[in-house]
Amino acid sequence: MAEDEKKSDPNAAPAGEAASAPGNGEATGTVAVLEARVAELTDRLLRAHADMDNLRKRTEREREETAKYAISKFARDVLTVGDNLQRATAAVPAGAAEADPALKALIDGVSMTERDFLNVLERNGVTRIDPAGEAFNPHQHQAMAEIEQAGAAPGTVVQVYQPGYLIEGRVLRPAMVVVAKGAAQRPADAEGTADAKASGGDA
């Protein structure tokens, strides 16, 4: 009987394994927690890198825009100089300069000054808009009036009151213009259209 008690149960787990089983479960749980923590920290790191990259790009873009448009206020203030130079040459009657050598020399000097003024503006990213004969662009032009003009398509700029200016492609001052509107139908044309409709109805 004593010998039977001393015999071990073949199905029973070794004492060492039975003791270590709870420890293995705790280790597995700890690894899972650490892996989740690593994944969370990795995600945070990637997000921080993305935020820093976006901040760097935004800062660089703002710096470039600041450099481009830093002279906007100054350029807007000196546009009247160009306007006055243009008015000076436009005020001279046709043929008057050719008849008066002194006046011609003066007008040539004013024209040269105006060209130099525009060249200086262009070197700093400012360009003039003089859209006579072009289609009206509401983003760059300001319509002061709309008139009927023979031979001009509706929406065409037929007169420029004041030229506009762009700075690096952005409107610094819109051009003030007069735009052609659709010509009204002439009475003869209206009668012809009415006759044609009547003939069609009789048929």
The reply to whether 139 and 168 lie within a common domain is: yes
- Angstrom CA distances, 185 to 147, 182, 191, 192, 193, stand at 14, 9, 10, 11, 10
User: Is residue 48, in this structure, part of any structural domain at all?
Assistant: no
Distance CA 56, CA 43 (A): 20
Helix-helix angle 101-123:72-90, to 10 degrees: 160
Mean pLDDT by runs of 10 across the 203 residues of the chain is 50 49 66 85 88 87 80 90 91 87 92 94 93 93 91 91 92 95 49 47 48
User: Is residue 65, in this structure, part of any structural domain at all?
Assistant: no
The reply to whether 179 and 129 lie within a common domain is: yes
pLDDT at 173: 95
Q: Are 155 and 190 in contact (CB under 8 A)?
A: no
Kind of pairing between the strands at 175-181 and 141-148: parallel
pLDDT at 113: 95
Q: What CATH number is attached to the domain comprising 133?
A: 2.30.22.10
pLDDT at 185: 41
pLDDT at 10: 52
pLDDT at 80: 92
Which range marks the domain in which residue 119 is found? 71-123
pTM: 0.61
Tokens representing 19?
A: 């003791």
User: Is residue 200, in this structure, part of any structural domain at all?
Assistant: no
Distance CA 20, CA 13 (A): 11
Give the DSSP per-residue string, 140-161.
TEEEEEEEE-TT--TTBEEEEE
